[in-house]
Amino acid sequence: MNTNKYLRLPANVLSTPVTSKLKAVLTFGFSDNLRFNKRLSLERLSYLALGDTLLSQFEVNPKKALNFLLDTQIGLLVIGKMLTPIEVGVVYQSDEDDCESDFPEVLEDEEDNEFTFTVSGRHRITGLLTWAYVNGIDPKDVILPVSVSYYPTWEDAALSVLAANGSRTMTPTEKLNVVKQSQQIDTQNINQLAESADSNKHAKEAFILMVSCPAVADKLTLQRNTVASVARAFITHLSRNHKGILTWFSNVEVLTTVGRLFVSSLESVLKTTIYTNVARYATTIGKEVFEHIDLSDVVDPSSVVVKATTQPSLEVEQQQHIEVLENEQQHQQQQSTNEQTVEPVSVAGGTTDEDLF
Digit-coded pLDDT (tens) for 39-93: 888 888 887 766 666 665 667 788 889 999 999 888 999 999 888 888 888 877 5
Please state whether beta strands 86-91 and 116-120 pair in parallel, antiparallel, or not at all (unpaired).
antiparallel
Query: Which one, of 144, 278, 168, lies nearest residue 217 by Cα?
Result: 278
Nearest CA-CA partner of 129 in 30, 5, 25: 5
Q: How many residues does the chain have?
A: 357
pLDDT score of 310 more than 70: no
Q: Give the chain's mean pLDDT.
A: 75
- Whether residue 106 is predicted with pLDDT greater than 70 in this model: the reply is no
Q: Which pLDDT belongs to residue 103?
A: 45
Contact 68, 75 (CB under 8 A): yes
**Percentage of the chain lying above the pLDDT 90 cut:** 21
**pLDDT of 153:** 78
pTM confidence score:
0.51
Return the DSSP state at 299.
Answer: S
Mean pLDDT computed over 344-356: 45
What would the mean pLDDT of 277-301 be, rounded to a whole number?
81
Model pLDDT for residues 126-176, shown as the tens digit of each residue:
999 999 999 999 998 999 888 888 887 777 777 777 777 654 556 777 777
- In this model, does residue 327 exceed pLDDT 70? no
